[in-house]
Amino acid sequence: MTDKEIRRLARERLAENTDIVIISIIYFFSIVIMLHMCEAFVSSVIKMFMDPDYSFFGSLFDGISFSDLLLLVIRMLMYYVLIAIIQNILLRYYINMNDGGESERFVSRHWSRMISPCLLGSMKMLFYKLLVTSPLFFGIYGIQHFRTKGISEQLTMIDLVCFMLCIGFSIVWAGELVHYFISLSLVKYIYAINPRANFFDACDLSVKLMDGKHMRVMSFWFGMLPYIFPAFFVYPLLLIYPFVTEAKLIFCHEIMGSYWQDKIPAMARRWDRQQKRLSRNRV
């Protein structure tokens, strides 16, 4: 399908399933309100017991201490977990919608079996991306180090060579990271349809399926920019978030093709048979 056909199909599906749209908006604004409340609570506690003049942006621009950095990292991880949980819940709603709702009852009663593996997969992916990104941080640090040294004193030939190597390495590594992260973009969907998938197997499958499709992915995202940008400026988002989510799901479904094998309906059927056996035994 072309990008235009994907967007049209997404609009048609959302028009036929307005309940999913409403649920998406409710979940989305719930997490936004929760994040605001958490941030307000943390700021109030810091102002009350530690620093009466505390300001989040002020601490970033005026110099951040180790304790401030540690607190910031903890908060970002907590917010990431909350957002990942909501995203996985909504993604399963959309998959159930597209599959006719066969596994909706099973998912509604077994959220822990669905969300826990997806959340663990999201956390593994986060740390894995940070790990492969760490060389870029060293390259940027080297650029900043030699830039500062060049301002205060004259660089030697070795310093100049190292400075140029840091610049070249950072550019090349950043390009490779973009390419590799695009290759891993299907991992979330692989976990959504098969929560029992192995993390490294999911990464390998995603890289395999995305081979040669990077320009196709970039073309899709450029086509979605007119819909994504308003998400940062229009408040509330209304249909923007559900539309982008559904379009991404259709696009990833198309890329995976025959590899899109949702395991949840089979798990739901086994669970239904088990419940029927249990009910017969009680009788």
Q: Residue 101 CB: number of other CB atoms within 10 A?
A: 12
Q: Residue 25 CB: number of other CB atoms within 10 A?
A: 17
What is the DSSP secondary structure assignment for residue 221, as one 8-state letter? H
Please provide the average confidence, as pLDDT, over all residues in the chain. Answer: 80
Torsion over CA of 113, 119, 123 and 129, rounded to 10 degrees?
Answer: 110
Chain center to CA of 236: 21
Q: Is the overall model pTM greater than 0.85, yes or no?
A: no
Type of residue found at 159: D
Q: Is there a contact between 191 and 115 (Cβ–Cβ < 8 Å)?
A: no
* Comparison of pLDDT for 118 and 167, the residue scoring more: 167
Quote the pLDDT of residue 234: 58
Q: Is there a contact between 136 and 173 (Cβ–Cβ < 8 Å)?
A: yes
Find tokens 């499709």 and name the residue: 213
CA distance 64 to 235: 31
CA distance 126 to 77: 10
CA distance 33 to 264: 31
The pLDDT tens digits for 165-188 are 999 999 999 999 999 999 998 988
Q: Is there a contact between 65 and 231 (Cβ–Cβ < 8 Å)?
A: no
Res. 99: pLDDT tops 70: no
The pLDDT tens digits for 176-234 are 999 999 999 898 888 888 888 888 898 999 999 998 888 888 888 888 877 776 666 65
DSSP secondary structure, 63-74, as one string: ---HHHHHHHHH
Find tokens 């709702």 and name the residue: 101
CA distance 57 to 61: 6
Q: Residue 1 CB: number of other CB atoms within 10 A?
A: 12
The number of CA neighbours under 13 Å toward the Cβ of 236 is 13
CA triplet 230, 12, 16: central angle to 5 degrees? 110
CA distance 276 to 279: 5
Quote the pLDDT of residue 172: 92
The pLDDT tens digits for 253-264 are 888 888 888 877
Res. 58: pLDDT tops 70: no
Percentage of the residues of the chain whose pLDDT score is greater than 70: 80
